[in-house]
Amino acid sequence: MEELLNIGIIGLGGRGLNLLEVCVLPRKNIKVLAVCDLYEDRRLAAAESVVKAGQPRPLVCADYRQVLDQEIDAVLITTGWTPHIDLACEAMYAGKYVACEVGASYSIEDCWRLVRVHEDTGTHCMMLENCCYGRYELMVLNMVRQGLFGEVVHCQGGYRHDLRDEVAHGRENRHYRFNNYLHRNCENYPTHELGPIAQVLNINRGNRLLTLNSVSSKAAGLREYLVAEQGPNGKDAGLKFAQGDVVTTIIKCAHGETISLTLDTTLPRYYSRGFQVQGTRAMFCEDNRTLFLDGEHNKFEFRSRELWGNAETYLNRYEHPIWQEYLKAGIKGGHDGMDWLEFDAFFQAVIDNTPAPIDVYDMATWMSVSALSEASIAQAGAPVSFPDFTNGKWISRKPL
């Protein structure tokens, strides 16, 4: 991967700056020609980082169109989720290979737009779903591909992450989630868990998501958090958040598998993506890092807790090749390596000008969960159908 690539970055809040510094600037073949953010402090900080890394000072701008006007091969979109699809489409029209951070959709039409612009322009777009590169997610995928789970029947996942501090102080901290939580009630962050599950189930590659049912709990966490902080007469104590604390979503797939997703971001808890895969021969559960193999483990052994954490002992045998190589080369990058690996995949796809491993069909399908769940929640969990964003191509598309 020694070919030189020129890129630009749009969106340099906490996450964008972090990705730039940890996953982009250490690569000697990637030159950052432009950095863009609506906030001056953010874009200046990014320019500073680029210069510190030994590169010429990039173009620093507030208007993303100036980035797209540059002679760049690819553009990273790392803004808050609201403008993701607009920016991704404009960047594809401009002929730049796009990498786009994860997030929610607001409408199904917007998801279709991603697909159409890609098909019209022939330009590619990859969703930066880092959790598809998680170590245990990939170990399980590796085992599933080897048939060790038998027939996979049910998967679970969640974005179970206490974000009360970020969301409640969104206005002061310029965090985009605040307004979303105030106005919308949906599965607003489905891809961290759905991405790895979609790969296990070959979604859009021989299988597809058919229907979804979503039900939301009441919204109590943020209110109580703000009252505890500001007192019952505090300026935000009376805010009414539309977003329920816990949203549970069940998805049914074309081949009969079910997927259960949980959004759980405004109550106190430990972080978990609740990744769980169950087949006719094995199961994996993230919450206690247990790998249960039929015939090998006793179903009542759990009571003695002997299985907790045993998945680690299988890494030797079932580590995914991507991680084997990564560990051999020496750990780099953020989020335990996931971010580094997703950028490896992205830059390689740009150099080869091949479709991204997580392409517009995946991006549209995974993001559509937010808009669909909003509709289902509003109808007491009524079933809502997924569009087939591939228009039938899922039947013949091969698993990666």
The answer to whether 259 and 214 have CB atoms below 8 angstroms apart is: no
Site string for a copy of itself, 233-252 (x = CB under 8 A): -----------xxx-x-x-x
Return the residue of 83, 206, 334, 381 that touches a copy of itself, per CB under 8 A.
Answer: 381
Return the residue of 22, 44, 239, 267 that touches a copy of itself, per CB under 8 A.
Answer: 267
The answer to whether 274 and 158 have CB atoms below 8 angstroms apart is: yes
80 counts as binding a copy of itself under rule CB under 8 A = no
Specify the residue, 53 or 378, whose C-beta has the smaller distance to a copy of itself.
378
137 counts as binding a copy of itself under rule CB under 8 A = no
CB of 210 to a copy of itself, least distance (A): 9
| Nearest partner of 245 among 268, 271, 220, 228, judged by Cα | 220
Binding region for a copy of itself (CB under 8 A) out of 16-24, 234-242, 266-274, 389-397: 266-274
Q: How far apart are CA 215 and CA 390, in angstroms?
A: 27
Beta strand 97-100 with 125-127 is parallel
Q: How far apart are CA 114 and CA 363, in angstroms?
A: 8
- Residue 268 half-sphere exposure toward CB, CA atoms < 13 A: 2
Binding region for a copy of itself (CB under 8 A) out of 13-21, 61-69, 187-195, 285-293: 285-293
| Nearest partner of 135 among 284, 258, 270, 17, judged by Cα | 284
Beta bridge partners of 161: none
Return the residue of 59, 293, 315, 322 that touches a copy of itself, per CB under 8 A.
Answer: 293
86 counts as binding a copy of itself under rule CB under 8 A = no
Return the residue of 122, 232, 316, 380 that touches a copy of itself, per CB under 8 A.
Answer: 380
Specify the residue, 66 or 314, whose C-beta has the smaller distance to a copy of itself.
314
- Residue 251, amino acid: I
Beta strand 246-253 with 125-127 is unpaired
8 counts as binding a copy of itself under rule CB under 8 A = no
18 counts as binding a copy of itself under rule CB under 8 A = no
282 counts as binding a copy of itself under rule CB under 8 A = yes
Binding region for a copy of itself (CB under 8 A) out of 11-19, 107-115, 232-240, 307-315: 307-315
285 counts as binding a copy of itself under rule CB under 8 A = yes
Q: How far apart are CA 242 and CA 222, in angstroms?
A: 11
Report 169-228 residues binding a copy of itself (CB under 8 A): 211, 213, 215-218, 220-221, 224-225
Which residues contact a copy of itself (rule: CB under 8 A)?
Answer: 150-151, 153-154, 161-162, 211, 213, 215-218, 220-221, 224-225, 244-246, 248, 250, 252, 255-258, 260, 262, 264, 267-272, 278-283, 285, 287-290, 292-295, 297, 299-303, 305, 307-309, 379-383
